Each structure stands twice: as structure tokens, then as C-alpha cells.
Chain A
Amino acid sequence: MTPPIIKAMSDIATRLTVSPAPHWRCGRTLHAMMRAHLAALLPALLAGVYMFGLPAAATVGVAGSVAVLTEVLCLRMQGRDVDVDNFTALYAGILFAFLLPATAPWWVAAAGAVVTIVLGRTVFGGFGCNPVCAPLVAWAFCRMSWPAAMDIDLNLAHFMSNDPVYQLQRFGVEALSQFDYVDLLLGRQLGGLGASQVAALLVGGGFLLITKWIRWYIPVSFVLGVSAVSTLFWFIDPGTYAPPLFHLLAGSTVFGALFLATDTASSPVGKLPQFLFGLIAGSLVVIIRVYGAFPDGVPFAIMLTNLLSPLLDRVRPKPFGGK
């Protein structure tokens, strides 16, 4: 059957756009979102380069560019439009690099970037479909495969300082007297090249929070979770467990709270689910640091909680008028 002609286009001079409601939009785009996120990483990147020198910049460069190239390749192989100009691949690659020691071998950065894109994203359907925060998948992969290349203390042995969370795990709470909280805050600590720049990360994360590119529910509840559980341990025995402020400033807690846990695809969507998500992830950080085999609990805590996201998403209010 030939479809009926509704009405001949009588006026071709003005061809109107027909689009579904709403006709106003808030103006948010993925492109703008990723630009804001990259801008938010900039202070930490600069602080990292200042602290660890040019190797830090090189590592970020390798990871970022390999991630973008991998994304191009993956999209080509799937026959999809190449849309790396939306910066999502670059952002994921840099997030991964931020977890690496500054002097990590170039091939670890490159391999990790490939894993971020292929295993972290593409196999699940691309950006926005990953059940687990993609850079963390790569981090876990590299941490298991090449423990020496990923070891912070080993890679940064030429620095006079130590990795605080590693010290806590190996030598107990007495070893923490060598650290000054102001130093930790200003990023004068060993750790992931960007993940340890606490003050700079707070500046970038604050920018994202003010511009509402990330909501406060996850970061705040994450910090709340870390503080609550560490305070609990600390009350039980201050001689065995580190004080809460140490847990907040050491390792990649702030980085996790502001950048990794807030990853859109792998975190829940509602207000309460997001809050619970942050709370659980934050609590797990301290629990892994106290009982776990890995000194910095943040990556595994967030990965584990990512797996709970679909469950947490079920914690939702009744629909309007629902019974």
C-alpha cells in the first residue's frame, strides 16, 4: 500500500525542523561534559608533573594517546562512527594514567590504556555501557600481571619519601609519624602520579561540583563512609589503626571519591542509591586497607561497589501515585 500523503509541502522556502518535545534543552552535551572533566584533571596533572617531573607527563601522554588510538581502532572494527572527538577515550586513558607511578614503564601505560578501552568499555558496548569503571579494570589487570612495574615504592625508590598507605600496611601505625598532614594534602607523598595530588584534585573536583557536572551525593557519601569506618577503627584502638584524616588524605581516596566513583555508567542513578553507593565504597576502602592484601583499597573498593550498582538501583521510591 502506498502511504497516504498527509499534505503536500506547500512551502519549500521554509523547511521547518520537526523534533520531539521538549523543544528547550538544558544545553548539556557529552562534549561539554568531557571538556569540563578534562579541565578538572588539569590541576592534578600540573601538580603531578611538578612533584614527579617530566616522566609523569610522559606517562599521561602515552596512556592518553594510546587510549584514543585504541578507541579509533575498536570503533572502526565495529563499523561504528569514529567519535573520539568527544574526549571520552582520552579522559579514560588519563584517569588510568593518574593511578600509575610516575616512572611506570611506557609499555605498562600503553597496555593499560588498551585494556581500559577494550576490556573496560568496548566489550560491554562502548562508552556509557561499562558495568565497572573502565580505568580500574585496567589498573587491576596491570596490578595482577606486572606487580613490580605497578609498585609505587619500587618505581619511585629514588624519592626520599615513602608511600603512606604502603607504610601503614607494612609497618603499622607507628610508621605514620614520618608523614605530615599538610604534606599529604599538598601532594608531597608517593602515590599514583595524579591520584596523590589531593589539593589539586579538590580544586578540580570542586569545579565539577560547582558546575554540577557531578552531583554531590557520591563524593560526599564516599568521604563520609571513609571517615565513619576509619573513626570506628580508630576508636577501637588508636595504637593499631590509623586516624581518619590519614585515610582521607593518603592514597587515592580523594581521587576515587571525585573522579572514579562518580563515573556515570558504573554508578547508580537515583539520589538514595548514589548516596548508598558512596557510603559502601567509602567503607570498603578502609576495610580493604585494614584487612586486605592491597595497600590502597580505593580501586578495589570502587570496583566491588560498581558490581552492586544494579542492586542499589532497585532502591527506588514508588512511582508517583504508585501503590
Chain B
Amino acid sequence: MLRIHYSLESQLKDGIADIAAPEELSIQVRNLVLKTAKRKKVGFGSTIAEHPSQSGGAFHAAASGTVRDLDYHHLVIACGEGGDDAEPVNVASLQPGRELLRTLQELGIDIAVLSSRAETLVINGMNPEPGVSVAEQMLADEMENLEAGLDVACALIEPQRTILAVADASEYRLPGTTPQSIKAKYPNSLDALVVKAVTGEEFPSNAKIMSVMDLYALGRVVRTGLPVTETVMTIEGRNYRVPIGTPIRHLLSCLGIKAASGDTVVLGGSFRGEAVYSLDEGVRKGDYGMFVISSDAFPHVQDVSCINCGECVLNCPGRIQPNLISRYAEYEMFEMAEKHGLHSCFECGLCAFSCTMRRPLLQYIRFAKDQLRAAGRSEQA
């Protein structure tokens, strides 16, 4: 019998726990502008890379140490004696404006959402995916940081109304926001669907959305003046404060989790996250969960043709036809995929989740989007 639970509810028992400091940090630096070099000493909070885009936040060392290894993809820091630690920046004294934004960006905050005004600001307080409870944990335990983050966000965005979207059964509130309850079932936690539930419009231009995790990071930066060097993530139902770059091997050994050959280790949620190829891979900014999925838990993806059963279409919250779009992507007809609503897809993964033939539908969709982006870039150049 097919009974699938996409429940986003969680029973929080404990607060956020700390993880023992790792001996090494492994940070993905692909496509970033490096600010350090091999064998250099770095201090806690010193900038190691900048984001090439105008709004992306910078990256900082989560511990002091020496850059042991560096290629175009990874930067490995051997923790220990290092350079000078970063001095706290007095963010609270800055007035809303360009300087504040630049300071936040230098401290690791993505300022894309903060850099222009909007009528409505939605705070997404839903747990992002089944099995991840970070959002509720923060609403329960990190109120001071959230409030500080909300103040700065409101000062920059100047919204006329601020709404907190929470799961329907939860009692969590955030001062300064109007609560709105949403059914705690995946994919209702996705930004596009939360905005739709709050404003009644699909992709409205006058609304912005931030997750409580974004708000927490912002608030923490403002209160401490120190850069973003950690993420909070759910591992086997508990939430941990994990320094960015902590190798997965370290997490597994700290928590006594076993990963055997053939298993899948996922950073992020199990619907949208990314499978890592090596246990030496480090935790990235914005990873809110880690899952070890044993090799026999689910039938594997296979490369076969679609049988048109329609399950992907019936499950799609974006009302597109993943069966058609994936075939267009498969045969490199990306413009046709675009014509059939490719960009309405918000990559929830439900199509591939429910595919009887186990086709990698989400992969095809991401591939098509990527190819179109690349084509757009080469046209501009």
C-alpha cells in the first residue's frame, strides 16, 4: 500500500547542541574569488574567499589554522596555530544604506533580498523539508537573534507588512510579524508556495521572502559583529551547530553514525539536497541537514524511457509537465522545455520522488535550466 508521509512536523526535545571542533576544515571554493593562498596562516573569521556575484556573501575561516591544501575546488585548513582572529565589526551603529549592505556582505550575508524595498516581507518559519527541524528549533531557541535580524531586514526592506509563516499546529510567534499558519506538509514549505499562501499571488513582484535561518544568520552577525562561520543542521532528528567546512567524516564519528560503501550521504534535505562523493567533503553554508541513506532503502534511479503514467504531473505543485520537460531536456530541446513552463519549476523533487520508472526528472530539469543559463551567458558575452 502506498502511503507516503511528507510531514514537516517535528518534536523538538533538546536545544541546539555543539559539535567538537574538527581537526581540519574543507571548504568548497569553486568559482569563488580566493583571498588566501597555500601555506598561509588564517585566523578565525578571516576572509578566505569572496563571492563573484554582486550580492553573494563572503566566506570566512571557521577556525584558525594553516591552509594545508588548495586546488580550484577545495581549500583545506589544518586547524591549530593560525593568524590573527577577526575583530568584531560594530554593525549596529551603521545606518541602513549602502555601507551597511556592504558590511553585511563582507561578513558573509547574501544581500540580494535585502538590497531593495518591497511591500510585503514573508518570514518562512516552516521546516524546509521532512526530517529537517532547524526552522522550528530557531523559533524555539534563538528568538533574540531572530528579532535582531528582523529589525535590520525591516530597516533595509521597509515592508508595509511582515508575516511569519508557521506550521499550522505550532505556537511559535515572532514579535513584529503577523503569524499565518500553513499546513505542515511538504512541499508547502517552499518559498514560492509560502508566498502564494500568504499573498494569494504566484511569483508576486512586491513580496520578498526570507527563511528564519537567513534571519538568524543576519541577527547573529549584527549582534556579534562576527562573520557567518557556522550553520545549524539536523542530523538524525537533533540539531547541531556545525562550523562551515567541518568534514562529514568528523560529524559521523562524533555522532557515532556509520556510512557503509554504497550508501548515499546527503547534505541538505533529502528532496533537494546534494549527495556528496567523499566523506572528506565539508559542510557548506546553507546546509540545514545531513542524511545517511543506506543503499537498499530506496529503489535506484535508472535511465529508461517514460511510460506516461502521469504521477509526476499529478504531484507537481508548479502545474508543469515534468514528463514532457524531462524528455525535451534529454534530447537537448531546451527552448521547448522553457516553452512548457520549465521556469515555473521550483525544484521540489516530487516528480522524481513519485516516478514509477525512477527517471531522474529533477536532474533533467536542473540540466535544462543550467544549459539555458549557460546559453544566455554566452549570448551576452
Contacts and interface: CB of A to CB of B under 8 A. Distances in A.
B344 A322 contact: yes
B280 A17 contact: no
A128 interface: yes
Given A28-B354, A320-B320, A322-B344, A10 B278 contact: yes
Interface in B181-210: 192, 196, 202-203
Interface stretch (A144-152, A220-228, A240-248, A265-273): A265-273
A321 interface: yes
Contacts, number: 182
Interface in A61-92: none
Contact of B307 (A10, A213, A264, A320): A264
B1 A24 contact: no
B306 interface: yes
Interface residues of A, number: 51
Contacts of A264: 307-310
Contact of B260 (A14, A22, A317): A14
A270 B307 contact: no
Contact of A320 (B1, B203, B280, B355): B203
Interface stretch (A1-9, A110-118, A135-143, A229-237): A1-9
A271 B314 contact: yes
B264 A19 contact: yes
Interface string B37-81: 000000000000000000000000000000000011110000000
In the complex, which range does the number of interface residues on chain B fall in? Answer: 35 or more
Contacts of B349: 21-22
A158 interface: no
A56 B318 CA distance: 48
Interface stretch (B101-109, B155-163, B293-301): B293-301
Given A10-B280, A16-B277, A24 B293 contact: yes
Contacts of A316: 319, 321
Nearest to B353: A22
Nearest to B258: A14
B300 to A, nearest CB: 7
B341 interface: yes
Contacts of B366: 20
A72 to B, nearest CB: 18
B353 to A, nearest CB: 5
B172 interface: no
A215 interface: yes
Interface string B250-264: 000000000111111
Contact of B261 (A13, A128, A317, A318): A13
B302 to A, nearest CB: 9
A127 interface: yes
Interface stretch (B14-22, B211-219, B233-241, B265-273): B265-273
A27 B354 CA distance: 8
A178 interface: no
A25 B298 contact: yes
Contacts of B311: 28
Contacts of B278: 7, 9-11, 16
Contacts of B72: 4
B314 A215 contact: yes
A18 B356 CA distance: 20
A267 B196 CA distance: 31
B261 A25 contact: no
Interface string A299-317: 0000000000000010011
A128 B307 contact: yes
A26 B270 contact: no
Contacts of B360: 19-20
Contacts of A11: 249, 278-280
Contact of A17 (B73, B263, B346): B263
Interface in A7-54: 7, 9-11, 13-30, 33
Contact of A317 (B264, B272, B319, B355): B319
B301 A319 contact: no
Contacts of B265: 16
| Highest count of chain B CB atoms <10 Å: which of A6, A25, A211, A267 | A25
Contacts of B295: 17
Contacts of A33: 356
A27 B5 CA distance: 12
A122 interface: no
B290 to A, nearest CB: 11
Given A30-B357, A321-B344, A18 B276 contact: yes
B169 interface: no
Contacts of A13: 261
A128 B308 contact: yes
28 contacts: A10-B280, A11-B278, A14-B261, A16-B259, A16-B264, A17-B295, A21-B271, A21-B272, A21-B349, A23-B266, A24-B271, A25-B353, A26-B4, A28-B356, A128-B357, A210-B1, A211-B1, A211-B2, A215-B314, A267-B308, A269-B308, A271-B314, A316-B319, A317-B319, A318-B341, A320-B192, A320-B320, A322-B344
Interface of A: 4, 6-7, 9-11, 13-30, 33, 125-129, 210-213, 215, 264-265, 267-271, 274, 313, 316-322
